[in-house]
Amino acid sequence: SGTTVGFVGLGIMGSPMAAHLVAAGHRVAGYDLNTEAVTRLANAGGRAATSVADAVAGAEVVITMLPADPHVEQVVLGEGGVLDTATPGTLLIDMSTVRPETSQRVASAAAERGLRALDAPVSGGEAGARQATLSIMVGGDEADFARAKPLFDALGKTIVHVGPSGAGQVVKAANQLVVGGIYALVSEAIVLLEASGVDAKAGLDVLAGGLAANRILDLKRESMVARRFQPGFRIDLHHKDMGIVLAAARQAEVALPVGGVVAQLVQAARSMGYGSLDHSALLKVVERFSGH
Ligand code: NAD
């Protein structure tokens, strides 16, 4: 029993995810450009693969957890990549956050070669990956989702098949749009409270108990008021994700005016040198607008 899995991309998220699959009884061959990450998986009971093709060899399912679109394009569609080397019937699950259009391109290129593909981006951060409590939003065919479900069960808690290829990425884009917007507004609330001489902690405590309550207020209001911005989820990654949000909006021919503003705020944070801080550091941008 158990599935033979090739896992490419053993970073902050992929490393604990691959280890959970090993712990759940699957045979996992892992590959990453970073050889230390490969060694870590081998120490956790996986097989150290020496290339993408080596990780894919013999795999029934290939999972990718890579930074962004160009990496997925290279590893999946490129020469010697997953589609080039996998045997027909193999299921490719891309769990990276990329453009919906990239997932659709991967799925049709896979189908042309007799392979199957799902897009399955995640939410929940590093903690969610470590604790196997990720939310997983899945785009693709129902039968492929059913085949992947036992693997997802080892990684997450909220696992939803949301539609055809690309739909998982659209849901993830919507998630990042809302998260970015909430960070921007909580930042504006803090700046308003402090500049008015009101204790921001006390003010946000009240907000967290009323209609404005949300998880970001719950989890981050203390660290934001204290100006603690160590990641977490880096501004640089949220910048990438706002690019995906606006690309998805363009593909769907819709206007997201607040999303556009949020994207510019995240850009400003990056331009001001905050790219490696947590995305709650949007507060620093909002403060600077008021000369604080
Ligand atoms: P990461 O940079 O820590 O990991 C990516 C890994 O891919 C790295 O180890 C890198 O060496 C490897 N890699 C890059 N190109 C490669 C190639 N050609 N061949 C083999 N390996 C290659 O990133 P992460 O934080 O694990 O994020 C991965 C994805 O998950 C991103 O799309 C991100 O947006 C998404 N995500 C991240 C979080 C988070 O909190 N970090 C939360 C949800 C979703």
Give me the interface pTM, i.e. the ipTM.
Answer: 0.99
Rounded distance from Cα 31 to ligand 1 centre (Å): 12
State the pairing for strand pair 91-94/61-64. Answer: parallel
- CA–CA distance, 229 with 232 (Å, rounded to integer): 8
Question: Which residues are CB-neighbours of 260 under 8 A, at least 6 positions away?
Answer: 246
Query: Mind listing the pLDDT tens digit for each residue in 12-63?
Result: 999 999 999 999 999 999 999 999 999 999 999 999 999 999 999 999 999 9
Q: Which of 143, 164, 185 is the last residue of a domain?
A: 164
Residue 245 pLDDT > 90: yes
Q: Is there a single domain that holds both residue 177 and residue 147?
A: no
Q: Is there a single domain that holds both residue 198 and residue 259?
A: yes
Residue 232 pLDDT > 90: no
Domain housing 132:
4-164
Q: Is there a single domain that holds both residue 156 and residue 49?
A: yes
The string over 234-245, giving b where at least 16 C-beta atoms fall within 10 Å of a residue's C-beta and e elsewhere, is bbbbbbbbbbbb
Q: Which of 164, 196, 215 is the last residue of a domain?
A: 164
Q: Mean pLDDT throughout 167-172?
A: 98
Q: Mean pLDDT throughout 135-149?
A: 98
Index of the ligand 1 atom closest to the CA of residue 126: 40
Q: Which of 127, 144, 164 is the last residue of a domain?
A: 164
pTM score, whole prediction: 0.95
- CA–CA distance, 252 with 236 (Å, rounded to integer): 25
Rounded distance from Cα 8 to ligand 1 centre (Å): 10
**Res 1: pLDDT:** 79
- CA–CA distance, 199 with 221 (Å, rounded to integer): 12
Q: Is there a single domain that holds both residue 146 and residue 201?
A: no
Q: Mean pLDDT throughout 111-139?
A: 96
What is the CATH classification number for the domain harbouring 132? 3.40.50.720
**Res 191: pLDDT:** 98
Q: Is the CB of 120 under 6 A from ligand 1?
A: no
- CA–CA distance, 95 with 9 (Å, rounded to integer): 10
**Res 160: pLDDT:** 98
Index of the ligand 1 atom closest to the CA of residue 123: 43
Q: Is there a single domain that holds both residue 202 and residue 113?
A: no
Q: Is there a single domain that holds both residue 204 and residue 110?
A: no
Q: Is there a single domain that holds both residue 30 and residue 160?
A: yes
Q: Is there a single domain that holds both residue 14 and residue 157?
A: yes
Q: Is the CB of 9 under 6 A from ligand 1?
A: yes
Q: Is there a single domain that holds both residue 202 and residue 96?
A: no
- CA–CA distance, 180 with 243 (Å, rounded to integer): 12
Question: Which residues are CB-neighbours of 221 under 8 A, at least 6 positions away?
Answer: 186, 201, 204, 205, 208
Q: Is there a single domain that holds both residue 32 and residue 145?
A: yes
Q: Is there a single domain that holds both residue 91 and residue 208?
A: no
Q: Is the CB of 102 under 6 A from ligand 1?
A: no
What is the CATH classification number for the domain harbouring 189? 1.10.1040.10
Total tally of structural domains belonging to the chain:
2
Which tokens is 275 given? Answer: 């790219």
Query: In this structure, are residues 28 and 5 in contact, taking their beta carbons and an 8 Å threshold?
Result: yes
Q: Is the CB of 66 under 6 A from ligand 1?
A: yes
E strand segments, the chain:
4-8, 27-31, 47-48, 61-64, 91-94, 116-119, 122-123, 134-139, 156-163
Q: Is there a single domain that holds both residue 80 and residue 206?
A: no
